[in-house]
Amino acid sequence: MYTATARDVIRRDLFGPAPDPRDRPYRFVIRLALIVFGLFGFRFDVRGSEHVPASGGAIICSNHVSFFDFTFLGLGALPQHRLVRFMAKSAVFGHWFAGPFMRAMRHIPVDRKAGAAAFESAVRGLKDGEVIGVFPEATISRSFTVKDLKAGAARMAIDAGVPVIPAAVWGGQRVATKGHKVQFRRHVPVTVILGEPLVAEPGEKVQSLLRRTKAAMEALLDEAQRSYPETPDGPDDRWWLPAHLGGTAPRPEDVAAHDAVDAAGKRAKAARGGSVARVRGMLTRR
């Protein structure tokens, strides 16, 4: 077990004996994040770091419950002196503040309308020995359970011939998550668990590896939730627990139904927008 502390900020060996000079911006951001974590008194419990390979490519696949999950998940690779390149929405890279940092840390932008470039970039990175971080649910789970996974991570693992490292993060939703106001709590415990690597069997199909990945993520999340050192303060504080553990978070089936309606609405809006554009084009040509 590795417990991340603010003292890590000044550790000279935090990134290994000979860190890559190109990663100076990334190392700076990590040390800055550790200072912030120390100021807020986050209590980190990181388990299974030994499953991250000391060298060579790997994909870390984690559940997603808070806006800060990628910073927490990155701590899991630090004991092995690895930096995780996360796949993130391309909009983040266009942000005036976050964008330059994301590019300097060599994270991978994902354009959902044209994801082939991100996929190819990730596969190249994996073959070059990078550790890629993926949240295969594609968005934060408001039920705080593992949603259906996108197949991209499993496909990348098979194409690049690298293992999938299932992971779970828990606790960050108490600070900042989808559908709730940011709450600047102090001394919040955050659990990060990395599981044993999953290696695709000879001839194994994407969906088979995807099912194994989801099952492993669910088991790790259940372990993180049930071993979490704190419980809700009262009835009004049960919102950050999933329904099956007595919390008031929406049930997975309710979230799925809401997401389906929301997606249908977005498709209809896009279709209307396309129709308007076609009419405008016809009028312009006349």
Q: Given a cut of 50, is residue 240 above it in pLDDT?
A: yes
Cα gap 194→187, rounded to integer Å: 22
* Residue whose C-alpha is closest to residue 223's, from 105, 71, 63: 63
Residue 142's pLDDT is 96
Band of the pLDDT at 185, cuts 50, 70, 90?
A: confident
- What one-character-per-residue DSSP string does the chain give? -B---GGGGG-TTTT-SS--GGGHHHHHHHHHHHHHHHHHT-EEEEE-GGGS-SSS-EEEEE---STTHHHHHHHTTGGGT--EEEEEEHHHHTSTTHHHHHHHTT-EEE-TTSTHHHHHHHHHHHHTT-EEEE-TTSS--TTSS--PPPTHHHHHHHHHT--EEEEEEESGGGTS-TTS-----SS-EEEEEE---B-PPTT--HHHHHHHHHHHHHHHHHHHHHT-S---SSGGGGGGS-GGGT--SPPHHHHHHHHHHHHHHHHHHHHHHHHHHHHHHHHHH-
Task: Determine the average pLDDT of the residues in 182-191.
Answer: 92
Q: Are 65 and 112 in contact (CB under 8 A)?
A: no
Band of the pLDDT at 276, cuts 50, 70, 90?
A: low
Weakest mean pLDDT among 42-56, 196-210, 248-262: 248-262
Of the options 3.80.10, 3.30.70, 3.40.91, 3.40.1130, the CATH number for the domain spanning 6-249: 3.40.1130
Q: Given a cut of 90, is residue 152 above it in pLDDT?
A: yes
Q: Is the dihedral of CA 255, 258, 263, 266 positive or negative?
A: negative
Residue 151's pLDDT is 95
Residue 283's pLDDT is 47
Name the average pLDDT for the chain. Answer: 90
Q: What is the pLDDT of residues 120-149, one digit of tens each?
A: 999 999 999 999 999 999 899 999 999 999
Residue 256's pLDDT is 85
Q: Are 132 and 125 in contact (CB under 8 A)?
A: yes
Residue 38's pLDDT is 86
What pairs with residue 167 in β-bridges? 62, 194
Domain ranges of the chain: 6-249, 251-286
Residue 11's pLDDT is 79
Q: Rounded to the nearest 5°, which phi and psi values hold at 36? A: -65, -45
> Quick one: what percent of the chain has pLDDT higher than 70?
91
Cα separation values, 33 from 29, 30, 42, 115, 281, Å: 6, 5, 11, 29, 49
Cα gap 115→220, rounded to integer Å: 28
Beta carbons within 8 Å of 57's beta carbon, 6+ residues apart: 125, 126, 127, 128, 129, 130, 131, 132, 160, 162
Q: 264: which 2 tokens?
A: 């249908």
Residue 263's pLDDT is 66
72 or 12, greater pLDDT? 72
Q: Are 120 and 83 in contact (CB under 8 A)?
A: no
219 or 276, greater pLDDT? 219
Q: 153: which 2 tokens?
A: 């991570």
Weakest mean pLDDT among 18-27, 30-39, 193-202: 30-39
Q: Given a cut of 80, is residue 15 above it in pLDDT?
A: yes
